[in-house]
Amino acid sequence: MSNGGQLQLVIVTPETTLVDEPVESLRFPLYDGQIGVFPGRAPLVGRLGYGELKATGSSGTISYFVDGGFVQVKGSVVSILTGRSVPTDQIDAGQAEEQLAEASSRVPTIEADFDAKSRDQERARRLLALARKPR
């Protein structure tokens, strides 16, 4: 089931395929918590949350912010389909702070607006936490 003790990580956004490389393990946010994946994992389809995707391979560790989406684990291939993914070393803390301030300043008037405000605040908080995380 596994490919020589490795997984093939594929991260796809609407614009491009960001990553297509072998890794030994990875960790990423699901909608309802974190999950770690190692070779030999049972098949899985899940809804992604917001946060850090961290993968370890022979060339070191890679880290990306993923902005929701879906994941599929099938055999030794882990496919991440997300609307946006940014390498954590390219996250701008100032921009993340602005996004959080903008989301927090919104005054919702209907239920859908409350949900959107909450989602946007959570996304900005996690983005800001990654921007401030020591490397």
The token pair at 112 is: 């859908």
User: Model-level pTM?
Assistant: 0.83
State residue 1's pLDDT score: 42
More confident of the two residues 114 and 3: 114
Q: How far apart are CA 14 and CA 76, in angstroms?
A: 23
Mean per-residue pLDDT, 34-48: 95
Residue 65 has pLDDT above 80, yes or no: yes
* Encoded tokens for 33: 């918590």
What confidence tens digit (pLDDT) does each residue in 74-121 have? 999 999 999 999 999 999 999 999 999 999 999 999 999 999 999 999
**Token output for 71:** 């994941």
Instruction: Provide the percentage of residues in the chain whose pLDDT is more than 90.
Output: 85
Q: For the chain, give every domain's residue range.
A: 7-88, 92-132
Judging by DSSP bridges, how do beta strands 25-30 and 33-37 pair with one another?
antiparallel
The yes or no reply on domain 7-88 and CATH 2.30.40.10 is: no
Q: 61: how many CB neighbours lie within 10 A of its CB?
A: 11
Cα–Cα distance for residue pair 71/29, rounded to 1 Å: 10
